[in-house]
Amino acid sequence: MLEGIRVVELATYIAAPAAAGIMADWGAEVIKVEPLQGDAIRGMLKNVSASNVEGNPIFDMDNRGKRGLAIDLRNEKGAAALKKLVMSADVFITNVRPGGLARAGLDWATLHAEKPELIYASVTGYGLQGEDQDRPGFDMAAFWARAGVANLTAPKGTDPFPLRVGQGDHTTGLATLNGILGALFERTKTGKGRLIEASLLRTGIYSIASDMAIQLRYGRVASTKSRDQAVNALNNFFQCACGTWLCLLTRHSGDIFGPIAKAIGRPELSTDERYLTAKSRRANAIELVETLDAEFAKHDIEEWGRRLDAEDVVWAPVQTMAQVADDKQAEAAGVFVDIPDGAGGTGRSVASPVRLPNEDGTTADRVRGPAPGIGEHTADILKELGYDDAALEDLKAAGAIN
């Protein structure tokens, strides 16, 4: 779908590489630019996991199908070579802080003046304006904590807890991708590129936009409640006899409680005056949750699935990662892919989030190759830009490339 689009990615960790990674899956040529020692996330698992961990599935997932160039941006000759590469691109994606980009002549104003059709995607913690524009911001800090997501998510009275690896980053990567695709379409009409400004802070706040809209309108928002104090006790989690938790949800119109009461074999509950309305169910939430807990504890998840499906009740099992990995529906939805490891083997990983089916039964979203090694394609890429062997040796001698 994006064949013919060249993307240069000067970025580390996850948010910006995630956006470029999806573009690679969709057919774009993506060149990942790293410092000579490589993207810091390459060593992440080695720093926190057992010594026998092999490979880095976190890095591989967001960087598969890219070509790799390693260069010292602080080196004058390295910066010049990188700028030449960027000037050959349709899209430049970076999460380097603005000050460092300006020193290398890779800031938006400079590149836009020299190549007006270039689309420039900046991914930062806090945006490109304001006193915190140069503040470093990982997703747990900017997306999770400062954006209010951590405070809102933790049930009232409990301590904040950490965000899972890359959750805010991948959400921000999707937001960045949306901006880039919009700019590519706009360029077909105007011939000009534009600055795309994505930030973990803005995306984090957007991820809780419904609650934030309430806060902005009324000056307050309900906290997240514990199970027995839920605003709607029927929208809740219940543990089955097998130990698996079940997520139960009601619809917003029609008979709210009747189908659930029938499924659990207690139809009289739906006409009990304590549970007739949303207000009365909330007032009697503790008792209602205790009653439902007792009922759901009588059967395993498979039996409850059959009963709830028969009444067209919305539900889902609360699955572990191991269970998700074996989920037949996730497999059918195209959630998983195999990534070449560059040595003749493959490793199972996660597909990009949108399936692009072709008429012949194949898909346009697919893995184009393994994640690159550090600087794996440096010489090839620079030769494409016109550097000959002597020029490459000069860059090596200057310390610009390995």
pLDDT tens column, 362-391: 999 999 999 999 999 999 999 999 999 999
CA gap 117, 87 in Å, rounded: 10
pLDDT score for 99: 85
The reply to whether 90 belongs to the active site is: no
Residue-wise pLDDT tens digits, 84-124: 999 999 999 999 988 889 999 999 999 999 999 999 999 99
| pLDDT over 90 at 48, yes or no | no
CATH class name, domain 6-209+332-398: alpha beta
Angle of helix 200-207 relative to helix 209-218, nearest 10 degrees? 80
Residues of the chain with CATH 3.30.1540: 245-317
pLDDT score for 35: 97
| pLDDT over 70 at 34, yes or no | yes
Q: Which of 169, 211, 327, 360 is catalytic?
A: 169
pLDDT score for 294: 97
pLDDT score for 53: 64
In this structure, whether the domain defined by 245-317 belongs to CATH 3.30.1540 is answered with yes
pLDDT score for 52: 60
Q: What is the mean pLDDT of residues 7-16?
A: 97
Provide the percentage of residues in the chain whose pLDDT is more than 70: 98
CA gap 213, 66 in Å, rounded: 39
Residues of the chain with CATH 3.40.50.10540: 6-209+332-398
pLDDT score for 23: 98
| pLDDT over 60 at 3, yes or no | yes
pLDDT score for 218: 97
Alpha carbons within 13 angstroms on the beta-carbon side of residue 311 total: 24
pLDDT score for 49: 55
Residue-wise pLDDT tens digits, 268-303: 999 999 999 989 999 999 999 999 999 999 999 999
Q: What is the mean pLDDT of residues 183-211?
A: 98
| pLDDT over 80 at 51, yes or no | no
| pLDDT over 70 at 339, yes or no | yes
Length of the chain: 402
Higher pLDDT, 136 or 46: 136
Burial of residue 10 (CB within 10 Å: 0-12, 13-18, 19+) is buried
Quote the mean pLDDT of the chain. 95
pLDDT score for 251: 84
Reported confidence tier of residue 253, pLDDT bands at 50, 70, 90 = confident
